[in-house]
Structure 1
Amino acid sequence: MAANDFLVSKWKIWYKSLDVNHDGTISMEDVEESRQKFSELHHLDAEKKKMVMENFEKWWNEYVFRGKKGEVSETQFIEALQNDYKADKDKFKKQMETCFDTIFDVIDTNKDRSISEDEFLIAFEAYGHENVALDTKFFKAYNPVDGLVPLKDIVASWVDFATSSDATKPSVVKTAFEAGV
């Protein structure tokens, strides 16, 4: 069964959120800009920077470009998600769990399996979302304890965002993007 309009609308939000340079398409320029900004904002040493650069590119290639070279249009992005969703919803959900666990593991630079406000803000700035007030409000929506949100909570919210077709269920991620993040 195909994804409903509500779920497709969230995939469109996700696509737009990945357009780091805001030019209307996702390309290697977005990958390059996000990983450069991320490395610079974290002041990573050469070894860690190399690892982050490789992990960012690998994530983009596997979960965004999905084997395509050059650039991916919104239509292609939605079509790929729709095809995977239609083929096997359970497998699709597992794929999204791996997708978000992988990227948030890269963002968790100190590897404490939680995300601090600083890590969150840097990640969103690296992805072209530079409104600190909105990004901070997004982070606070996770109800951090001692300034930290467990990685599993953030991953779960993104998996829900990318897989739930229930329009009545609140979504921290969708709410944040609709507010302008």
Structure 2
Amino acid sequence: MEFLNHKWKLWYKSLDVNHDGKISFADVEESRSKFAELHKLLGDKASGVKIDMEGWWIKYILQSKDREISLEQFLERCGSEYQADKAKYTAKMTECFNVLFDVIDTNKDRSIELSEYIIAFQAFGHENENLVRKSFELLNPKDGLIPLKDIVNSWIQFTTSDDPHKKDVVKESFEEGV
């Protein structure tokens, strides 16, 4: 569990978009507003993305709009869900990241190009574009694109694999400072 706890701490830090030491609805507001703004989304498209992102945050992270989550609470929830039923936890993470990356794939081509990847990371408070570019390259893009399923699978592995010997590009990216 120590290895997974390390990775969950990295994940928690990535979800603290405004870097105030807790996850709250303020992080939701900042991420969805930045995402829509950086993608230059307007009207119904912007509203739809904001609603979908809010739904993702509430269903998979916060569980309610008025909740704040400390690192300890986040680790406890991940750990207890994982230990209670690893297959169920993996299924939840599979759904979680399929939903998230479906929102991030704004042109709905089922792949992510570098500009979409950069915007997604910036929307979550990760501003170092050089490190984000390195992270993108770790996923081995073909013709400048990464299939959505490859990104989703890398995040599922990051949040569910307890094998420290298995290559983990999301973990590597966060440890590099993304």
Aligned mates of 1:170, 1:143 — CA distance in 2:
13
Q: Residue by residue, what CA displacement relative to the aligned partner does 1:23-49 show, whole Å, maximum 9, x if unpaired?
A: 111111110000000000001121011
1:82 aligns with 2:79: yes
Which has the higher mean CA deviation after the structures are superposed, 80-89 or 101-110?
A: 80-89
Q: Residue by residue, what CA displacement relative to the aligned partner does 1:137-166 show, whole Å, maximum 9, x if unpaired?
A: 000111111110000000000000000000
Alignment counterpart, residue 145 of structure 2, candidates 140, 148, 159: 148
1:73 aligns with 2:70: yes
Match of 1:37 in 2: 34
Aligned mates of 2:20, 2:42 — CA distance in 1:
30
Q: Which amino acid aligns with 2:25?
A: M
| Residues 85-104 of structure 1 mapped to structure 2, 5 A cutoff | 85-104=82-101
Structure 1 segments, 4+ long, off by >4 Å, are: none
1:159 aligns with 2:156: yes
1:8 aligns with 2:39: no
> Given that residues 25 and 65 in structure 2 are in contact (C-alpha distance below 8 angstroms), is that contact kept between their aligned partners in structure 1?
no
Unaligned runs of 5+ in 1: none
Aligned mates of 1:145, 1:168 — CA distance in 2:
25
Aligned mates of 1:73, 1:40 — CA distance in 2:
28
Q: Residue by residue, what CA displacement relative to the aligned partner does 1:41-93 show, whole Å, maximum 9, x if unpaired?
A: 00112101111111111111111113473311111111111121111110110
Normalising by structure 2, we get a TM-score of 0.98
| Identity among equivalent pairs (%) | 56
Aligned mates of 1:51, 1:75 — CA distance in 2:
32
Alignment counterpart, residue 18 of structure 2, candidates 14, 18, 21: 21
Normalising by structure 1, we get a TM-score of 0.96
Aligned mates of 1:32, 1:91 — CA distance in 2:
29
Match of 1:123 in 2: 120
Q: Which amino acid aligns with 2:126?
A: H
Match of 2:136 in 1: 139
**Over aligned residues, Cα RMSD in angstroms?**
0.9
> Given that residues 112 and 148 in structure 2 are in contact (C-alpha distance below 8 angstroms), is that contact kept between their aligned partners in structure 1?
yes
Partner SS for 2:146: strand
Match of 2:44 in 1: 47
